[in-house]
Structure 1
Amino acid sequence: MPTKYEPIHPGEILSTEFLDPLGVSATELARAIHVPPNRVTRLINGQAAVTPDTALRLARALRTTPEFWLNLQMRFDLDMAADAGGVMDDIQPIVVM
């Protein structure tokens, strides 16, 4: 059976793959993308999601695409929902003939 990993929040990717290597603080990024510092801090701490607005701003500042950030968020959300399970186990496919 494959090893199950904890879903990775987009804020962790932002911090470890972009801010740390660039030597940029959350406050500096917030200033660069014209948002309040707590918006970036909450994202990095996994307390906030990447919104379309944030994705556009991050993409512009970090030379990525908005889709990159939204796909990270969507993958995280899907993984979290799948891990919650329970209710989903009782759902049966609807077969149309």
Structure 2
Amino acid sequence: MKNPAHPGEFVRELAEDLGLSLTDAAVALGVPHPALLDLVNERAALSPDMARRLEKAFGVSRETLMRMQDNFDIAQADKQS
């Protein structure tokens, strides 16, 4: 994949599909609202801790989420070289 999506885009769409505001999603994840905003606005990378929280709260495999982050990071590195 040449332009993989940032995992924050997936998380934003997941919250929308579940009918959750980002505030409600942050509460469900047990994280500060600004931390979730940084992720969904692609200003922060997905951490292993956030991936674990997403898996626990929404049933999305943390391995899949971390692969999304890895693919995004590799594509960004390739663009810079």
The answer, yes or no, to whether TM exceeds 0.5 is yes
With CA pairs under 8 Å and 6+ residues apart, which has the higher RCO, 1 or 2? 2
Asked whether 1:39 is paired with 2:35, we answer yes
Question: Are the aligned partners of 2:7 and 2:46 in contact in 1 as well (CA < 8 Å)?
Answer: yes
Task: Give the aligned residue type for 1:8.
Answer: A
Task: Give the aligned residue type for 2:73.
Answer: D
Structure 1: distance between partners of 2:65 and 2:34:
18
Q: RMSD over aligned Cα, in angstroms?
A: 1.4
Structure 2: gaps (5+ residues) = none
Any idea what SS the aligned residue of 2:25 has? helix
| Structure 1 position 42, deviation (Å) | 0.6
Structure 1: distance between partners of 2:72 and 2:17:
23
1:90 matched residue in structure 2? none
Identity of aligned residues (%): 35
- Select the structure that is richer in helix: 2
Per-residue CA deviation, residues 24-72 of structure 1 (Å, 9 max, x unaligned), is 1111111011110011111000001110100100111111111111111
Matching residue within 5, 9, 16 for 2:6: 9
- Count of equivalent residues: 81
Matching residue within 64, 67, 71 for 2:63: 67
